[in-house]
Amino acid sequence: MDFEKYTTLIEEVKRKGARLVAVSKTKPPAEILTLYDRGQTLFGENKVQELVQKYEQLPKDIAWHLIGHLQTNKVKFIAPFVSMIQSVDSMKLLAEIDKQAAKQERTIDCLLQIYIADEETKFGLSQTEAEEMLCSSQFTSLSHVHVCGLMGMATNTEEEEQIRREFRSLKTFFEKLKRTYFKENPFFCELSMGMSADYKIALEEGATLIRVGSKLFGEREYL
């Protein structure tokens, strides 16, 4: 854990009025605690089982964001405690989150994951799919989710201008949705974009949440 990097990063993020999601996937609870002891209470995980285990082992005032692909049959495991699901990529998934949140007598904050990268592998909705979802009668009937904004991942490239263009397109789409579907809605205010390699660009382009893992915790080892 590089505390100097953490301190610099958190100051940069606060100066911009944004928030840091410390992405702790694959990292043990002890490492999460060292950041928690420095005041970091917002963490991101991408797998349900790992998220549940860490939630059980760690202080209960940690806010957990799910940032990875979520299968509908696993929503029930995180519905009791998850703070935000950033990776909503279908109406079916959002409807299941609504159902499980209602069972827990909670409202769950969600972001729609929008596909912005020039890559085949990434999950997410196209802009058209997202708008179709927001227009549907099924969407209007949901009562236990807050759609709080959008999440996106830029292409993994050295081309700074391409990354900037992709983030800018996400911000433009966010503003369009805000005007069109969420005008009087105070919840729709989050734009989650930027990771270790491109968070500086994301902050310049208006991110309110950045998701940083390896820059804080060091490179991940996948076993």
Ligand X SMILES: *Cc1c(COP(=O)(O)O)cnc(C)c1O
Task: Using CB under 6 A, list all residues that contact ligand X.
Answer: 23, 25, 46, 67-68, 153, 195-197, 211-215
Question: How far, in Å, CA of 209 to CA of 178, rounded?
Answer: 17
**Which is nearer to ligand X, 104 or 157 (by Cβ)?**
157
The H or E element containing residue 165 is helix 160-181
**Which is nearer to ligand X, 23 or 32 (by Cβ)?**
23
Residue 163 amino acid letter: I
As measured in angstroms, the least distance from the Cβ of 23 to ligand X is: 4
Q: Which residue is nearest to ligand X (CB)?
A: 213
**Which is nearer to ligand X, 97 or 209 (by Cβ)?**
209
CB 196 within 8 A of CB 20: no
Fill in the DSSP letter of residue 73: G
Bridge partner residues of 151 (DSSP) = 113, 192
Q: What is the residue-wise DSSP string for 3-41?
A: HHHHHHHHHHHHHTT-EEEEE-TT--HHHHHHHHTTT--
As measured in angstroms, the least distance from the Cβ of 146 to ligand X is: 20
As measured in angstroms, the least distance from the Cβ of 154 to ligand X is: 10
**Which is nearer to ligand X, 169 or 214 (by Cβ)?**
214
**Which is nearer to ligand X, 5 or 215 (by Cβ)?**
215
Question: How far, in Å, CA of 104 to CA of 186, rounded?
Answer: 23
As measured in angstroms, the least distance from the Cβ of 131 to ligand X is: 22
As measured in angstroms, the least distance from the Cβ of 51 to ligand X is: 12
